[in-house]
């Protein structure tokens, strides 16, 4: 599939050309992917009593998975459920809908996830449609550990109401352990959307995607077959390559997906906590069916203190500095005070045995899985799944501290680790093997691009591949150097641009290399290339985004506004993909 190309000599100004190019590209791929609803299909929604739209905004795939679950439940109740990413829904299509459940996660400090950004902009625009004919309900996913808890869902809920849509049920704001609450809300809300529906048997529903038996709640106990240090001895980091054996699990994945790993807490940390509590591992705790040691090992987050725990310690410890910081209620000051401290550091501000075990458990959050971008293609690594992970370790006051899952993987995962696949359909190798692929993945952000390159190689894709990679020092941090060189020699990796930030006085980052090669990068985009970014969201991905806009403006001869529209066109066409957090 070639993206429609506008000839150089066509009578358009730079701005018109950018807009048209983005529009055509978006339309073309949305049609090709079956995402643009024909007018007849939109109109039929109004006639049908049973169509229920489930629209999701997702960054890591949770909202998408939940939307599929909602659709399955809705089909069981007799609805004709249609699941779509929010950015695939035009304002006109939204206005023609009669019933919709919106499932949206919040990203960063209260932002819309990537694939809800354009949808949100359209809802806020002066041209936004009126939605009087639409009944809706919002299910918001978030994390109470962050500011702006469920902010994206809250914004959508309010805006839909302001555009005239009718709320079917009050919004639900779900924390990280969302499944039970979310599905109870769904079961209570869906009947409000349907009139005279007949329950149907969905066990053979062809529209429902086949689901793996292994999930977040029921992970596959896999053997860690390979645990290899990638970074050099002189590196400031410890980056490791892992390979999990998929055995007879039947687990399948695609390049671009993430792997959920269920960690087990460090037994040494559990022992130190028990000592500080003045409790024993086999102690029973009221309201729990497992002994305390088991709960601290498998059920609760014992590294990062919750906000409630911090407040409780503040009340009990009577520490002047902490009291002052908490009284200020300034998130940045609280984070600065917390930096480097874990739960044990906080408990040690109290006398031993001062906090009863039941109080402690009431202030802890459930232990969550961690999701890592998969760094293999199933075609190159049949029967196994690979990860590329930086171990998080630091010292504070003579005690070693560690990240929950990265140290579990590095030090303790072995015979058995609970894993499951978290699909990320929005982050995929382009379907057209002839089109160019540009990948920006510094540090462990290289992970999915190793998978993408393997995938393109396995498919025999003819389209050129360009990787921007970097880290602190070439000598110790050029991970996968051998593999990348081999791929370059085989012609799979067409271009490799490296940015080692600390090998010279001035910082050189991946966006430095992008700018240096801006003309060629723009040419690849004009040829229909897909631009992908993976890694740190807060600094790197933002700076890369700025560089991309600048390159398009400079080499496309566009104003900043037209360059922004060009980038929006890439997003609509699924040619600007991000896997960042
Ligand atoms: P990192 O900390 O991102 O560092 C990699 C390189 O990026 C270093 O050379 C660093 O330089 C440089 N860098 C620092 N600030 C930058 C900026 N504003 N723009 C561009 N480059 C910049 O590498 P890492 O330790 O591997 O961490 C990667 C991050 O990505 C982590 O936060 C990880 O959680 C995240 N990650 C996310 C995903 C995902 O979303 N799926 C997957 C993998 C990794 P200096 O240190 O010299 O400044």
Instruction: Give the domain 39-193 fold.
Output: Rossmann fold (3.40.50)
Q: Classify strands 135-141 and 172-174 as parallel, antiparallel or unpaired.
A: parallel
Residue range 267-362 in CATH 1.10.8.60: no
Residue intervals of the chain classified under CATH 3.40.50.80 are 437-580
Are 360 and 209 a contacting pair, CB within 8 Å? no
Q: Which class would CATH give 220-263+369-422?
A: mainly beta
Whether residue 215 has pLDDT greater than 60 = yes
- Could you tell me the distance, in angstroms and rounded to a whole number, from the CA of residue 539 to the centre of ligand 1? 8
Residue nearest to atom 36 of ligand 1 (CA): 535
DSSP 297-352: IIIB--SSPPHHHHHHHHHHH--HHHHHHHHHT-HHHHHHHHTT--HHHHHTTS-T
- Could you tell me the distance, in angstroms and rounded to a whole number, from the CA of residue 441 to the centre of ligand 1? 8
Q: What is the pLDDT of residue 137?
A: 96
Residue nearest to atom 43 of ligand 1 (CA): 445
Residue intervals of the chain classified under CATH 3.40.50.360 are 39-193
d(CA 352, CA 339): 23
Give pLDDT tens digits for 296-354. 999 999 999 998 999 999 999 989 999 999 998 888 999 999 999 999 999 999 999 99
- The label of the residue with tokens 């009863």 reads 356
Atom of ligand 1 nearest to the CA of 536: 30
- Please tell me whether residue 408 adopts helix, strand or coil conformation: helix
- Could you tell me the distance, in angstroms and rounded to a whole number, from the CA of residue 536 to the centre of ligand 1? 5
- Could you tell me the distance, in angstroms and rounded to a whole number, from the CA of residue 469 to the centre of ligand 1? 10
- Could you tell me the distance, in angstroms and rounded to a whole number, from the CA of residue 471 to the centre of ligand 1? 8
Q: Which residues line ligand 1 (CB under 6 A)?
A: 237, 373, 390, 442-445, 447, 470-472, 501-502, 507, 509-511, 534-536, 539-540, 543, 579-581
Range scoring the smallest mean pLDDT among 106-120, 191-205, 232-246, 529-543: 191-205
d(CA 229, CA 390): 10
Residue intervals of the chain classified under CATH 2.40.30.10 are 220-263+369-422
Confidence bin at 40 (pLDDT 50/70/90): very low
- The label of the residue with tokens 């690979």 reads 386
- Could you tell me the distance, in angstroms and rounded to a whole number, from the CA of residue 236 to the centre of ligand 1? 13
DSSP 154-208: HHHHHHHHHTTPEESS--EEE-SS-HHHHHHHHHHHHHHH-SSPPP---TT-TTS
Q: What is the mean pLDDT of residues 461-466?
A: 98
Residue nearest to atom 4 of ligand 1 (CA): 443
Among 107, 439, 444, 515, which residue has the most ligand 1 atoms within 8 Å of its CB, making it the best to mutate? 444
Give pLDDT tens digits for 127-143. 899 999 999 999 999 99
- Please tell me whether residue 4 adopts helix, strand or coil conformation: coil
- Could you tell me the distance, in angstroms and rounded to a whole number, from the CA of residue 474 to the centre of ligand 1? 15
Q: Which class would CATH give 437-580?
A: alpha beta
Q: What is the mean pLDDT of residues 243-265?
A: 96
Q: What is the mean pLDDT of residues 33-47?
A: 41
What pTM value is reported for the model? Answer: 0.85
Residue intervals of the chain classified under CATH 1.20.990.10 are 267-362
Q: What is the mean pLDDT of residues 474-502?
A: 98
Confidence bin at 280 (pLDDT 50/70/90): very high
């Amino acid at each position: 599939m070639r993206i429609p190309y506008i000839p150089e000599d066509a009578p358009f100004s730079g701005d018109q050309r950018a807009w048209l190019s983005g529009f055509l590209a978006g339309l073309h791929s949305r049609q090709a992917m079956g995402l643009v609803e024909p007018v007849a299909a939109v109109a039929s929604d109004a006639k049908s009593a049973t169509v229920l739209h489930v629209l999701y905004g997702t960054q890591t795939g949770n909202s998408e998975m939940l939307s599929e679950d909602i659709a399955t439940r809705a089909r069981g109740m007799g609805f004709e459920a249609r699941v779509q990413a929010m950015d695939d829904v035009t304002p006109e299509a939204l206005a023609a809908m009669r019933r919709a459940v919106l499932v949206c996660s919040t990203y960063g400090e209260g932002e819309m996830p990537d694939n809800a950004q354009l949808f949100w902009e359209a809802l806020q625009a002066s041209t936004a449609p009126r939605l009087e004919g639409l009944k809706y309900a919002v299910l918001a996913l978030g994390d109470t550990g962050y500011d702006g808890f469920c902010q994206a869902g809250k914004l959508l809920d309010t805006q839909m109401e302001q555009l005239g849509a009718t709320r079917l049920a009050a919004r639900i704001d779900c924390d990280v352990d969302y499944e039970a609450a979310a599905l109870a809300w769904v079961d209570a809300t869906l009947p409000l959307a349907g009139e005279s529906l007949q329950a149907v048997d969905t066990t053979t529903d062809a529209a429902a995607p086949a689901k793996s038996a292994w999930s977040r709640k029921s992970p596959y106990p896999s053997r860690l077959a390979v645990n290899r240090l990638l970074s050099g001895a002189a590196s400031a980091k410890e980056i490791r390559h892992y390979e999990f054996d998929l055995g007879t699990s039947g687990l399948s994945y695609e390049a671009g997906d993430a792997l959920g790993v269920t960690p087990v807490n460090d037994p040494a940390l559990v022992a130190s906590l028990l000592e500080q509590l003045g409790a024993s591992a086999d102690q029973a705790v009221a309201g729990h069916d497992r002994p305390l040691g088991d709960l601290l090992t498998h059920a609760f987050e014992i590294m990062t203190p919750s906000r409630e725990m911090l407040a409780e310690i503040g009340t009990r410890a009577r520490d002047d500095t902490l009291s002052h910081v908490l009284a200020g209620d300034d998130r940045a000051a609280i984070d600065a005070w917390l930096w480097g401290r874990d739960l044990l550091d906080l408990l040690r501000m109290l006398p031993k045995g001062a906090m009863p075990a039941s109080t402690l458990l009431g202030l802890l959050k459930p232990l969550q899985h961690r999701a890592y971008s998969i760094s293999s293609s199933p075609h190159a690594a049949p029967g196994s799944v690979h990860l590329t992970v930086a171990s998080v370790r630091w010292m504070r006051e003579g005690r070693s501290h560690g990240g929950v899952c990265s140290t579990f993987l590095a030090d303790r995962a072995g015979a058995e680790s609970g894993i499951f696949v978290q699909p990320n359909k929005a982050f995929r190798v382009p379907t057209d093997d002839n089109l160019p692929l540009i990948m920006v993945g510094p540090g462990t952000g290289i992970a999915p691009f190793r998978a993408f390159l393997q995938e393109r190689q396995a498919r025999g894709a003819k389209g050129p591949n360009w990787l921007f990679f970097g880290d602190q020092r070439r000598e110790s941090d050029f991970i996968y150097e051998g593999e990348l060189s081999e791929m370059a020699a085989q012609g799979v990796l067409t271009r490799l641009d490296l940015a080692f930030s600390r090998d010279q006085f001035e910082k050189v980052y991946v966006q430095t290399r992008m700018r240096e090669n801006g003309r060629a990068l723009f040419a690849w985009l004009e040829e229909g290339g897909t631009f992908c970014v993976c890694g740190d969201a807060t600094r790197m991905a933002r700076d890369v985004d700025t560089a991309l806009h600048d390159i398009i403006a400079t080499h496309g001869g566009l104003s900043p506004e037209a360059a922004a529209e060009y980038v929006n066109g890439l997003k609509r066409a699924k040619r600007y993909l991000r896997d960042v957090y």
